[in-house]
Structure 1
Amino acid sequence: MITDVTVKHARNKLKEPFITAIRSVDEIETLSITIETDEGLEGLGAASPTLKITGDSFDSIHSAVRGPIKESIAGMPLKSLEQIVSNVRDACVGNTSAKAAVDIALYDLFSKKYQLPLYQLLGGYRNKIMTDMTLSIGKESEMAAKAESLVQQGFKALKVKLGGAFQEDLSRMRRLRQTVGDSIQLRIDANQSWDAKTAVRFIQMLEKEELAIEFIEQPVKGSDFEGMAYVTNHVQTPIMADESLFSAVDALRLVQMRACDLFNIKLMKTGGIREALAIADIAEAAGILCMIGSMMESPISVSAAVHLACGHRNIIYADMDAPLWLENLEEILEDGTIAYDGPRITCLER
C-alpha cells in the first residue's frame, strides 16, 4: 500500500532562453514527487509550473500534492490503480499539474510492481518516436541560422514559435522555408496570439505562397472554441488544438464542433496519463490524430509522456524536445527511462 508522498524542488538551467508569444524562460523549475509503498517501491513523478497556461504555480502544486491529493491516496493498495488515479482526479478542482505529477508517479510504481516498461504497460505499440525541435521566436536571421543548424543535426521537423507582427511573422516563414528546403516539415505554434480572422488571413497567405506548413497549433485563445472552428473551416492547413484541450470533455466538445483537425496532448494539462489515454481514445474514434507535447518540463514527466505516445497507436507526432534544451541533459538522463539520439527518442527496457 501507499505509505508516503514526498516532494522536492529543483531548478535546471537551459542552454539558451526559450521564447514564445506569451513568455520567456531560461530555466526549468521542477517539483519532483516520490510515492513510497510498504513493499519498498518508489514511483517518480514531476510537474513544472506554467502559470499562464495551466494556472498552476510552484506553491499551488506543492500545496495540492501535500494536502488533498496525498490524503486521497494514503494507505491505498497499489493494485487498485484505476481507483487511485480516480481519487487523484477528484481530490480537488483544477490543479492539473499537481495531479499529473502524482499520476505519473503512480504509473511508474505500477510498472515497477509488475516489472514492465511503462510503454508496454500502456499498450506497447512501439518503442521509438521522432520528435520535432522548437524554434523560439526571434530575429529572422537568427531563426534561420538555428533552423539550418538543427537540420544538420538530423531534425526533420521544426516547430516555429510565432506571435509577432503580421508581416514579420510572414517574412520569418518565407525565410525559414527558403533556408531548410522542401524536405523539412515546418509546423507553427501561435500560442493563442491571433484572433480568428487574423489567423485565417495569415494562414491563407501561407497557403497562397505555397510555404507547405504541416499544421498550425492553437491560433486563437484556448477558450475560443468558436474561433478555433472558424479557422479550421476557412483554411486548408490542418489546425491543432493545444490550450483548448485539457480534458476528455474538451476533446468531445472539439470533436462535436469540428473545431480542429489534430490534438496536442500534454500531461500537465490533462492531469496525467489516465485522462490523456481517454483523450487519445476519443480522438481515434473521431479520426483525429494526436501529438504528444510538453511544456518546458523535467525529463521525468517528459519520459512518461514519451512512454504514453509509444504505447498508443493514435499518438503519431511528438514535440518532446524540452530536455534537449537543458545544460546537463546527459547527467539527468543517466538513470532515466528514455534515450535521445538526435530527433529519435527510445523507451528503455527498465
Structure 2
Amino acid sequence: MQSPLPGAANPSSKTHNGPNRKGLLVRLTSGAGSESWGEVAPLPGRSRESLEEAGAAVAKILPSLVGLDLAPSFQGWTAPNVLKGLPSSCQFGFEQAIFSLAAADESVPLSKWFREDSRGQVPINALLAGSKEEVLAQARERRREGYEAFKLKIDTTPVDQGTKLIEEVRSAIGADAELRLDANRAWDFDTAVQFLSRVEDQNIAYVEEPLADPVLLKRLGQATTVPIALDESIVEILEQSCSLEEYAFARAAILKPTLIGGMAVTLDLAERFVNIGVEPVITSCFETEVGHAGLVSLAAAISGSGWASGLDTLRFFDPGLSPAPSRAAYHVSLCEAPEISRLARIV
C-alpha cells in the first residue's frame, strides 16, 4: 500500500520521510469464514527494518500460518515459534490480523478479546503540526471540537520561539486542557533545563524524550518540575533488558507497537508500567485506518488508563486515499494454502 500524506503537515521532521506512508496489508481468513486485516508499515527513520526487509519476512512467514490454532481470548494465547523473532512492524501486523481473526471467530470486538472489561471509548490527544499560524489555528479548532489533550512537537524550535509558542498554545486551549510536548531528543542537558524552566508555569503534562543523551533523563527530572515521558528509550529498554523500575521517575511511557515488537509485547509492557506508576500512552506511527483500528483496541484494553492516547494521526492522510481492505498486499487463509498477490499501490 502507499497512502499519501499532505506535504504541509510534516508531523515529525525526524520520523516522517517523504509525502507517502508505505507498507503492507495482511488479510487472513479462518475455517469459520471470518476475515481480518493487519498492517505492516515500518516507520522511516525509526524502524530497525526497511519496507523491503519487512516484505521479505511477510512472504517467508505466510505459508507457516496455515492451520494455526486461534485462542478464544488473549489470556489463552501462546505465540508459536514461527511468530517469534520477526521484525517489529511484522510482529504488529501479523498479531493484529491473527488476534482480530480470533476475536471475529468468537464474535467479540478485538478490545474485548484482549480484556473483557476493556473501555468503550478511547480519548485521544490532538496532534498539532505545521507553522506557528497553523498550530494555533489547529489548537483553537480542536478545542472547539472537544479535545481535552494536545501534543506539540518542539524539536526544531529555538528556545525563545518555542517557549513563546507554548504560551500561545496554552492561551488557545485554555488553562484546564492537557498540554504535552515532544522534543525528539533534540537538546543537550543545559538547553533542556533552560527551555523547561521557562515553561514550568504552563502546566505541562510531560515532555517526551528531551535529551540527546537519555542516560541523563532521571537527572533532568530532578532539575525541572516538568514531568518526563519515555519514547525512543522504550526500544532501548527492551533491547538491553533493563529493569523498568529504573524508569519509575517518568510520568508516562509512549508505546508504539509498530516499533516495540507488536501487540502482545505492548500489552505486557503497559501493565508493567502501570504497576510502577508510569502511565502507558498507546501511540500511532502514522498507520492507516487498518493499523489504527488495532491501536484503538489496544488502548481500550489497558487497565486503569484514562489518559488520552496518541492516535490523532488519520487526519494527516489525504481524504479518500487511505487504503481500503480490498487493496491488500497479501492474502492467506488459515485453512488453505496461502495466496500471495502483488503489493497494492494506493494512488
TM-score range, shorter chain: 0.7 to 0.9
Give the aligned residue type for 2:263. Answer: I
Of 217, 224, 231, 2:220 maps to 231
Distance across 1 between alignment mates of 2:27 and 2:126: 30
- Counterpart in the other structure of 1:310: 300
Of 77, 80, 86, 1:82 maps to 77
Deviates more, 1:52-61 or 1:224-233: 224-233
Q: Percent identity of the aligned residues?
A: 20
The answer to whether the 8 A contact 1:238-1:261 is kept is: yes
1:145-193 CA-partner distances (Å, limit 9, x unpaired): 2211221222221100111222221121122122332122211111221
Distance across 1 between alignment mates of 2:279 and 2:255: 11
Assess, with a 3 A threshold, how the Cα gap between structure 1 residues 70 and 206 changes in structure 2: closer, same or farther.
same
Of 298, 305, 311, 1:320 maps to 311
Distance across 2 between alignment mates of 1:130 and 1:85: 33
- Counterpart in the other structure of 2:204: 213
1:99-148 CA-partner distances (Å, limit 9, x unpaired): 11111111111101111111111113311011111111x43333222211
- Counterpart in the other structure of 1:96: 88
Distance across 1 between alignment mates of 2:322 and 2:53: 29
Structure scoring higher RCO (CA < 8 A, sep ≥ 6) equals 2
Query: Offset of 1:71 from its aligned partner?
Result: 5.4
DSSP-derived class of the 1:275 partner: helix
Assess, with a 3 A threshold, how the Cα gap between structure 1 residues 329 and 237 changes in structure 2: closer, same or farther.
farther
Distance across 2 between alignment mates of 1:83 and 1:155: 38
1:234-274 CA-partner distances (Å, limit 9, x unpaired): 22222111111138746853432445221111110222210
Distance across 1 between alignment mates of 2:119 and 2:7: 30
Alignment of 1:1-350 (within 5 A): 9-14=1-6, 16-24=8-16, 25-67=18-60, 69-70=61-62, 73-79=65-71, 82-84=77-79, 87-90=82-85, 92=86, 95-123=87-115, 124-136=117-129, 138-163=130-155, 164-207=157-200, 210-221=201-212, 224-246=213-235, 249=238, 253-317=243-307, 318-328=309-319
> Which consecutive unaligned segments of at least 5 residues does structure 2 have?
327-347
C-alpha RMSD of matched pairs (Å): 2.7
TM-score w.r.t. length of structure 1: 0.81
The answer to whether the 8 A contact 2:196-2:226 is kept is: yes
The answer to whether the 8 A contact 1:140-1:172 is kept is: yes
> Which consecutive unaligned segments of at least 5 residues does structure 1 have?
1-8, 336-350
Distance across 1 between alignment mates of 2:139 and 2:98: 38
Paired positions, count: 318
